[in-house]
Amino acid sequence: MESGNVTTPFGRRPMTFGMLASQTAARKIEPGQSIDKWKLYRALCEAKPLLGITDRALAILNALLSFYPKGELSEENGLVVFPSNAQLSLRAHGMAEQTIRRHLASLIEAGLLIRKDSPNGKRYARKEHGGDIREAFGFSLAPLLARADEIERLAAEVTAERLHLQRLRERLTLCRRDVAKLIEMALEEGIAGDWGRIHLHFRDVVERLPRSPSAAQITAALDELELLREEITNQLEMQEETQNQSGNAPHYERHIQNSNPHSITELEPGFETKQGATADDRSAGRAEPAARMQKGEGTNGHVQAARSASIGSSALKSFPLGLVLQACPEIAAYGPQGAIGSWRDLMAAAVVVRSMLGVSPSAYEQACEIMGPENAATVVACVLERAGHINSAGGYLRDLTRRAERGEFAIGPMLMALARTNVPVRGKTG
What are 34's strand-pairing partners? 74
Collapsing DSSP states into helix, strand and coil, what is residue 72?
A: strand
pLDDT of 193 reads: 81
pLDDT of 223 reads: 94
Handedness of CA 105, 107, 111, 115 (dihedral sign): negative
pLDDT of 251 reads: 45
Identify the DSSP state of 192: S
d(CA 116, CA 82): 9
Residues 6+ apart with CB under 8 A from 342: 321
Are the beta carbons of 306 and 370 closer than 8 angstroms? no
* b/e per residue 32-56 (b: at least 16 CB within 10 A): eebbebeebbebbebbbeebebeee
Residue scoring higher pLDDT (294 or 48):
48
- Alpha-helical regions (H) of 67-147: 85-91, 97-109, 142-146
pLDDT of 250 reads: 46
pLDDT of 191 reads: 82
d(CA 257, CA 235): 28
The predicted model gives 329-334 an average pLDDT of 90
Task: Sort residue 336 into left (φ over 0), alpha (ψ -120 to 50) or beta.
Answer: beta
Q: What angle do CA 157, 163, 167 make, to 5 degrees?
A: 145
Are the beta carbons of 215 and 162 closer than 8 angstroms? no
pLDDT of 20 reads: 61
pLDDT of 304 reads: 42
How many helices (H) and strands (E) in the chain? 18, 6
pLDDT of 381 reads: 92
Per-position DSSP letters for 321-365, written without gaps between them: HHHHHHH-GGGGGGSGGG---SHHHHHHHHHHHHHHHT--HHHHH
pTM of structure: 0.50
Q: Is the pLDDT of residue 117 over 90?
A: no
d(CA 204, CA 207): 5
Per-residue model confidence as pLDDT tens digits over 242-260: 766 655 444 444 443 443 3
d(CA 170, CA 162): 12
Per-residue model confidence as pLDDT tens digits over 154-192: 999 999 999 999 999 999 999 999 999 998 888 888 788
d(CA 108, CA 104): 6
- State residue 127 phi and psi, 5-degree precision: -115, 150
Among the listed ranges 53-57, 275-279, 319-323, which one has the minimum average pLDDT value?
275-279
Identify the DSSP state of 274: P
The predicted model gives 22-43 an average pLDDT of 80
Give the chain's mean pLDDT: 77
pLDDT of 274 reads: 34
Handedness of CA 345, 350, 351, 352 (dihedral sign): positive
Reported confidence tier of residue 379, pLDDT bands at 50, 70, 90: very high
Per DSSP bridges, beta strands 72-74 and 80-81 are: unpaired
Are the beta carbons of 115 and 139 closer than 8 angstroms? yes
- State residue 429 phi and psi, 5-degree precision: -105, 50
Q: Is the pLDDT of residue 396 over 50?
A: yes
d(CA 214, CA 161): 10
pLDDT of 40 reads: 93
pLDDT of 247 reads: 53
**In the chain, what's the furthest Cα-to-Cα distance?**
126
Q: Is the pLDDT of residue 127 over 90?
A: no
* b/e per residue 135-151 (b: at least 16 CB within 10 A): ebbbbbbbbbbbbbeeb
The CA-atom distances, in angstroms, between 78 and each of 58, 68, 180, 414 are: 21, 9, 62, 71
